[in-house]
Chains A and B, each alone.
Chain A
Amino acid sequence: MKKYETPLLDELEKGPWPSFVKEIKTAATKSEMANDELGQLEKSYRDKRGYWKHGGIVGVLGYGGGVIGRYSSLPEEFPGVAHFHTVRINQPSGMYYKTDSLRTILDLWDEYGSGLTNMHGSTGDMVLLGCRTEALEPLFAEVSSRGWDLGGSGSALRTPACCLGQSRCEWANIDTMDICNELTQTYQDYVHRPAWPYKFKFKIAGCAIDCVASIARADCSVIGTWKGKIAVDQDVVKDYAKAGMNITEEIVNMCPTGCMSYDGKELKIDDTNCSRCMHCISKMTKALRPTGEKGASILIGSKAPIVVGSLLSWVVVPFIKMEPPYTEFKALVEKMWDWWDDNAKPRERIGEVIEMKGMRSFLEAIGVPPQPQQVFEPRKDPFFFWKEEDLNGNK
């Protein structure tokens, strides 16, 4: 194997944080592919630019996603990365693994690819980094015959992802891992066969803390919430005070709706004024807990800035029950897809189409009535549309 001098990358082996250079070097002891990745990367560091070409057309037969083509622009100099495709393996909900089942993937990856991975990619998939075209079909056969499948890419349903929810968190109002798994399984066809104008992402968070950043990066953000009171264990509140928490400063004064009061003995909450933001619950988790009906808020449209600016998801359905098999939610989502697919130009995300066509068009298409929870405030301008049915309905 060729030995590359890597004086620049070697600088990134120093220091307390784990070094990606060490990882690449580890893989490079066994793989020519990883070794040439190291060589090409050193050159990038020298020249301050990347040496990869646009993705090409690669994949497994019948699927339109799950593999992203990647080719070096310097294949003669670095033949090991001439093909260096990404294979997305759909992660189990919550990213828990039994060690033996993960070892199965690692063994296959050592055989068929570079031995480099991302645990995990931004969307949530396990990412196998660096596969040659001719290895794709046998690798897929090996992986799928052991119970694993590819994730989404391109203009498809992207691999749904979730926080760990009720598996290890007292704050989860919904079973995020089950919802994630159920959506992934129900919509396998949409994950593997890109049929839409552009990508569509689900992210499912158990509460408004949103550890999976659903509100910032999912076309459909499912965020767990509740409708009842916050139960207060006054004895435990006293324990927090005794342990040094300044309840007035840290809890009462930081409540965004001013719905709490504390007289040094009792913590009171005016639940009718609570917006369920999670601040008090997250800081006094032993003393406070939501009660009553549990469900989710559905927010739609978030995306990164390309191309006319980032969007955060907008509240569309303030509350929906989320119980298996999630029939009502799935029916709603399918209506959204139909409307989006009918109205989008190529590469338009659902949020952008809502901006273009108007929220009313979207709400009517999915059968959701207008509600004040959907907006921060009503419009300021005096220009608004009337439809014939509004006039007749005397609204």
Chain B
Amino acid sequence: MAWLTDQEAKAKRKTDIGPPHYSKMLPPVITKNYGKWKYHEELTPGSMVHVAESGDKIYTVRVASPRILATANIRAMLDIADKYCDGYIRWTTRNNVEFMTSKEENVPLIKKAAEAAGYPAGGIGAGLSNMVHTQGWVHCHGAASDASGLVKAIMDEVFPYFNEKRLPAKTRLALACCVNMCGAVHCSDIAVVAIHRKVPTIDHDSVKNLCEIPTTVGACPTRAISPDPAKKSVKINADKCMYCGNCFTVCPPINIHNPEQDGVAIVVGGKVGSLRTGPKFSKLAIPYIKNNPPRWPEVVSAVKSIIDTYAKDARKHERVGEWVERIGWESFFKKTGIEFTYQHIDDFTFARDTFRTSAAFKW
């Protein structure tokens, strides 16, 4: 294949056509039973069956993926889909891959083929699904840590909860490589979020050329930034800075990266569903663990320990956040052995809602 020339490209290009219509992408059994599904059953942590009013069945094998995929390996998945799934495949919102077939006998064959290709089955029901994550050092300018590497190390460790062992309820893990939090990291059962801890440094000469001063001043949520007319730049009040990095986003010469001080925090107890209790934000469990590539052993063991405590202590169907609310945060810190620090007490926008106003609490 040769590249199109400018002229050819101009002649060929179309605009504003949107994506292909989904109806062209659906397996026939889905088209036939669209809107007429009756129930589904989880067969194993990696497979389930949906049954339609018509009696038709569709079996789904869900497999893990690292989200970053090479075209060659996607082709290997497509070959499996051609062989066992009549040439259809889908992805889930959590970056899993799903192979669907009406033939029950294909289920173990799909699992075997996917596992042979390096993508093990799992992620369905009361256990761990894939860990939603961001780009990290692979592709983002703002990353305070990597994303894929941490996810790989964590999922290796807790893998049995993905493909075999069960938890009290489904448990959603996520990772964001900075506080911008691409993806719903802020509402996950357990999430890792990379943070900065040092006041940014400013390259004043570049600020002059690259940044709008009012926009930069306005970008600071704590009003720590003010104009510095002498330098035609800005200055930062270190006492007020919370290291959010928003100034870096609007004005690149303000550098917030600090390899020795950047690291990750762990937050817990969020959810998005309205089941039983309403959706919740995740709250701070561990304020800082240093970046320790390639396998971040301290982060891995912290996540593992929270999951294990939850697995042992929570009631059936209770999500992490519901478990913690039932036992109380004071008990959460006791049971997990996590140290409670100044950083845990909010001093930003939500502070007053979090201070305890009751004489009833646990020792």
| Residues of A participating in the B interface, judged by any CB pair closer than 8 Å | 8-9, 11-12, 14-24, 26-27, 30, 34, 37, 41, 44-45, 47-55, 60, 62-63, 70, 84, 86, 89-103, 106-107, 109-112, 115-120, 122, 124, 129-130, 135, 137-138, 140-142, 144-145, 147-149, 161, 163-164, 166-170, 172, 175, 177, 181, 184-185, 188-189, 191-192, 208-217, 249-250, 254-256, 275, 277-279, 282-283, 285-286, 304-310, 312, 345-347
Contact = CB atoms under 8 A, between A and B. Distances in A.
7 cross-chain pairs, A with B, having the tightest CB-CB distances, nearest first: A15-B156, A141-B9, A44-B137, A17-B155, A304-B181, A213-B184, A26-B70
B332 interface: no
A112 B143 CA distance: 27
B316 interface: yes
B219 A210 contact: no
A19 B152 contact: yes
A119 B186 contact: no
B66 A19 contact: yes
Interface in B139-157: 139-143, 146, 148-149, 151-153, 155-156
A54 B256 CA distance: 13
A24 B135 CA distance: 13
A interface secondary structure, majority: mixed
Interface string B103-138: 000000000000000111000000000001011111
Contacts of B15: 62-63, 144, 149, 192
A188 B13 contact: no
Contact of B71 (A18, A86, A110): A110
11 contacts: A19-B66, A20-B138, A60-B13, A92-B20, A106-B71, A117-B70, A142-B4, A147-B20, A167-B34, A213-B184, A217-B184
A23 B73 contact: yes
Contacts of B340: none
Given A52-B141, A278-B275, A140 B13 contact: yes
A285 B252 contact: no
Contacts of B257: 49-50
Given A20-B68, A24-B70, A304-B185, A12 B295 contact: yes
B259 A48 contact: yes
B18 A188 contact: yes
B151 to A, nearest CB: 8
Contacts of B281: 310, 312
Given A26-B72, A124-B93, A254-B317, A96 B13 contact: no
A93 B22 contact: yes
B349 interface: yes
Given A12-B149, A94-B22, A102-B89, 18 more contacts: A8-B294, A11-B294, A11-B295, A12-B295, A15-B153, A17-B66, A17-B156, A20-B138, A45-B149, A86-B139, A93-B22, A97-B91, A116-B70, A137-B13, A149-B16, A213-B93, A216-B184, A216-B270
Given A27-B71, A117-B68, A166-B37, A213 B25 contact: no
A184 B90 contact: no
B178 to A, nearest CB: 9
The binding surface of chain B is classed by DSSP as loop
A106 B1 CA distance: 13
Contact of B153 (A12, A109, A192, A213): A12
B272 A144 contact: no
Interface stretch (B74-82, B226-234, B305-313, B355-363): B74-82
Given A107-B1, A145-B13, A90 B18 contact: yes
A163 B210 CA distance: 41
Given A18-B64, A147-B17, A168 B294 contact: no
Nearest to A145: B12
Contact of B9 (A49, A137, A214): A137
Given A44-B137, A112-B3, A92 B25 contact: yes
A18 B119 contact: yes
Contact of A70 (B71, B141, B148, B149): B141
Nearest to B118: A18
Contact of A149 (B19, B155, B276): B19
Contacts of B250: 347
Given A41-B138, A307-B246, A144 B17 contact: yes
B28 to A, nearest CB: 11
A158 to B, nearest CB: 11
A99 B88 contact: yes
Interface in B17-34: 17-22, 24-27, 30, 34
Contacts of B140: 50, 52
A157 B276 CA distance: 33
Contacts of A95: 90-93
Interface in B262-292: 262, 270, 272-277, 279, 281, 291
Contact of B89 (A60, A99, A129): A99
B91 A138 contact: no
Contacts of B244: 306-307
Contacts of A347: 219, 250
A17 B152 contact: yes
Contacts of B69: 23, 116-119
B65 interface: yes
B225 to A, nearest CB: 12
A346 B66 contact: no
Given A84-B139, A283-B317, A304-B182, A96 B26 contact: yes
